[in-house]
Amino acid sequence: MVILLILIIGIVTGYDLKCPAKAEWRLRANVSCYSESKYVCLFHLLEGKYKESCLGSDQSSIGSKLVFQPLFNLAECNAGRYQPVVFTTHGNSECILRKSKCDEEGQVVYSNGSYSIDTACRCDYTQGYAFVAKPKNSCFCNPSEEDCSCFRDNCNILSPDYQCINEEDTKANVTCQEIYSHM
């Protein structure tokens, strides 16, 4: 069985390597390095492709990942991902979480987040949408932590704070930012 795996891996290495999924990490580590704690699979910046190594596990700071250049080096997460905890090369080759999209009915992006924080969403009050459930912050919600669903309110005019107002109150005191443009 081990000889068959080594033959298969030998044949596959002629192609561009993709790092193994979490479920396959242990198997690949034991075949390549005879030790799960030594196996590393990361993107090599100078060669422009993923590479395996038996250098041993390492970690980086929140909001970043590690790459080879030619040894370990810090790199920013890809635009669609974020890293809210310390990155470790044990079982990972990319920042661990995908950023939320804010593309459900009535949602718009409030903030694109950062390399360590998810995107924040809000409901498009200019189109009559409000939150189904009040989020922790009254102006926006964090989709990775709470329900950001929106519904079309029956109110004719909603304030940026999602309060029903009449036409004379359009300049009322509000705490949430106005939405000036959306797609």
Indicate if 114 and 46 belong to the same structural domain.
no
In degrees, rounded to 5, the angle at the alpha carbon of residue 51 between the alpha carbons of residues 36 and 86 is: 60
pLDDT, tens digit (0-9, with 9 covering 90-100), for 79-126: 899 999 999 998 899 999 999 999 999 999 999 999 999 999 999 999
Q: What is the pLDDT of residue 54?
A: 94
Neighbours of 146 (CB within 10 A): 15
pLDDT of res. 3:
43
Do 111 and 94 share a structural domain? Answer: no
Among residues 98, 121, 144, the one where a domain terminates is: 98
| Domain carrying residue 59 | 2-98
Torsion of CA 31, 56, 81, 146, to 10 degrees: 90
Q: How far is CA 134 from CA 30, 53, 58, 147, 153, in A?
A: 49, 48, 41, 9, 14
Q: What one-character DSSP code corresponds to residue 153? A: -
- Whether the per-residue pLDDT at 39 is higher than 90: the answer is yes
Q: Which helix (H) or strand (E) holds 108?
A: strand 107-111
* Percent of the residues in the chain that have a pLDDT greater than 70, as a whole number: 87
Residues 116 and 162 grouped into a single domain: yes
Residues 78, 150 within the same domain: no
Nearest CA-CA partner of 123 in 110, 111, 106: 106
Shared domain for 86 and 143, answered yes or no, is no
| Residue 179 domain-assigned (yes or no) | no
Give 4's pLDDT tier (boundaries 50, 70, 90): very low
Identity of the amino acid at 22: K
Amino acid occupying residue 93: S
Q: Reply yes or no on whether the pLDDT at 17 is more than 90.
A: no
CA separation for the pair 86, 116 (Å, rounded): 10
pLDDT score of 5 more than 60: no
Is residue 69 located within the same domain as residue 154? Answer: no
* Six token digits for residue 21: 């999924």
List Cβ neighbours of 12 (8 Å cut-off, separation of 6 or more): none
State whether 20 and 73 are in the same domain. Answer: yes
Q: Establish if 13 belongs to a structural domain.
A: yes
| Structural domain includes residue 174 | no
3-state secondary structure of 172: coil
Q: Indicate whether 52 belongs to any domain.
A: yes
pLDDT digits (tens, 9 = 90+) for 117-161: 999 999 999 999 999 999 999 999 999 999 999 999 998 899 999
